[in-house]
Amino acid sequence: MSPVESNEPDPRRWRAFAVTLTAGFMSLLDVSIVNVALPSIQSGLGASVAGAQWVVSGYALAFGLVLVAGGRLGDALGRRRMFLIALSAFIATSALAGASVNEEMLVAARLLQGVAAGMLTPQNSGLIQELFRGAERGRAFGMFGATVGISTAVGPVLGGLIIAAFGPETGWRWVFYVNVPIGLVALVLATRLLPKAPRSDTPLRSRLDVTGMVLLGLAVLGVLLPLVQSEQGGIARLWWLFPLAVVLGYLFVRWERRLVRDDRAPLLDPRLYTETPGYAIGAAIGATYFCGFAGMWLVFAMFFQQGLGYSPLESGLLVTPFALGSAVSAAIAGRLVPKRGRWLTVTGLSLVAAGLVTVAVLVPLVAEEAIGYAVAVPLLVAGLGGGMVISPNTTLTLDRVPTRMAGVAGGALQTGQRLGTALGVAVLGSVYHAGITGAGESYPAALGYAMACSVAFTAAALLLAIVDARRHPHRRLSEKAPSVTNAGPLE
């Protein structure tokens, strides 16, 4: 009997979770680790600036496009099966990227790798819903949230270390090759440890909403493509995709509501947002926070490397305090969610805002050679706050989601985070470049402007969290997740 069918916890659940967390860390790490490898790619492969940028943006684009579809496939086909398929594809495409002989091959490999990662990532949140209950679920989501935050923060450091170890000509290849041995070990362990899903007598075609997948995919593409191409003038050239995305999004919602009325299986049940406690506002908090959180790493990399002339490794090490603070607080925060609820997120966002405000004020005032030391403590404070944001928010957002919809709910949540990431990178990058090119402005002043923009996004997320905390001051984690036969309002 599977864990879905029984209230008895799977005795192998923590070992299985460790394996899925490792694979999830690899897929999320590849969002940021390649940023510092771009100069190495250009020198080692002779790639153009536009081609090198597509190595980063192509992965992020493909990743964001398939998250909801990947979650739905996991719900319909079984999360173990989808995890094994997606992980196998991720390993193969990582090897293909490392072996690329020209920029076209590398961009194609990165697009395929992004699709594999987007199919892989939602299975993590789905498996947490399936394997854990109550306080244990809070701990598991705490570890998952820490993985999401830390993978983004430590990517530049690991990328810098790999390139320093293997040299600028071939170091970029090992940024991709490192996924292969780790992925193979995870694949073998996952085959042994992940629980098998019960067989379904319902035909696969009736369980998949292909029309919904196409409509949502095109809508997300319409938003993401101009944003990920913003540095190449994508917003100016592709602005017309934004209104088209709104139309496609409207058609998608209409189609999903029709499927619900006809008692058919939708891709993303609209009642997930309207009738599941905490899901809609939690998704909004996550997307808004990621606008400021993810965008600042690109700005820091440009500031330290282009503005101050630091190496990729030095640049990565200077932002390590945030990663360390996030790692510590996320693990602790996961245990505190059952008692503190949404107020834990409020505290975390307040610390992030305070840390980034301090960075914005200090950088233009401190001598350039002392900036790295001056921002260490504020970044540590912001990191401690960041660890209290992602994992508790993920836990509170997904806690009341029926287990049968856990994959698609996790995919939709992370789609919002990917959209927030793309928007934040575009906005903060534009503000930073405008600060540099402004009359009489300097790199420190430009960084200060970008940090102020990041604080504004964080403050918006903080306002949403306060509204939710005041509206539901006594919300606690459920001890038993809604089951297939008792899914509450979504049934």
Per-residue pLDDT of 178-206, as tens digits, reads 899 999 999 999 998 888 776 665 555 66
| Cα–Cα dist 178/185, whole Å | 12
Q: Provide φ and ψ at 319, rounded to 5°.
A: -100, 10
- pLDDT of 491 over the 50 cut: no
Mean pLDDT of all residues belonging to the chain:
81
- Where does 363-442 have alpha helices with state H? 371-374, 376-387, 390-398, 406-437
482, 488 in Cβ contact below 8 A? yes
Q: Which residue has the higher pLDDT, 4 or 16?
A: 16
CATH architecture of the domain 13-194+267-483 equals: Up-down Bundle (1.20)
| pLDDT value for 27 | 83
Q: Averaging pLDDT over each range in 121-130, 224-233, 456-465, which range is the top one? A: 456-465
Measure the CA–CA gap between 310 and 325, rounded to whole angstroms: 23
DSSP-assigned letter for residue 304: I
pLDDT at position 490: 47
CA 27 – CA 182 distance, rounded (Å):
12
All CATH 1.20.1250.20 domain ranges in the chain, comma separated: 13-194+267-483
Whole-angstrom distance, CA of residue 411 vs CA of residue 70: 7
At a CB cut-off of 8 Å and minimum separation 6, what does 306 contact?
Answer: 443
Which of 227, 321, 297, 287 is closest to 450 using CA atoms? 297
Cβ atoms 16, 194 nearer than 8 A: yes
DSSP 404: G
* All residues at 6 or more sequence positions from 266 whose CB lies less than 8 Å from its CB, including other chains: 209, 212, 255, 256, 259, 260
Which has more confidence, 338 or 14? 14
Token pair in block for residue 375: 């921002």
429 CA to centre of own chain = 19
Length of the chain: 491
Q: What is the distance between the alpha carbons of residues 392 and 43, in angstroms, rounded to a whole number?
A: 42
Q: Is the dihedral of CA 429, 432, 438, 442 positive or negative?
A: negative
Q: Is 47 left (phi over 0), alpha (psi -120 to 50) or beta?
A: beta
Asked whether the predicted pLDDT for residue 291 surpasses 60, the reply is yes
Q: Which helix (H) or strand (E) covers residue 76, if one does?
A: helix 49-77
CA dist 436 to 430, 444, 446, 447, Å?
10, 9, 6, 9
Say how far apart CA 254 and CA 409 lie, in whole Å: 19
Indicate the pTM of the whole model.
0.78
Q: Does residue 483 have a pLDDT over 50?
A: no
Residue 262 main-chain phi, psi, to 5 deg: -85, 5
Cβ contacts of residue 431 below 8 Å, gap of 6+?
Answer: 446, 449, 450, 453
Task: Give the pLDDT score at 475.
Answer: 59
Does position 487 have pLDDT exceeding 60, yes or no? no
Tokens of 23: 């694979």
Backbone angles phi, psi at 483, to 5 degrees: -100, 180
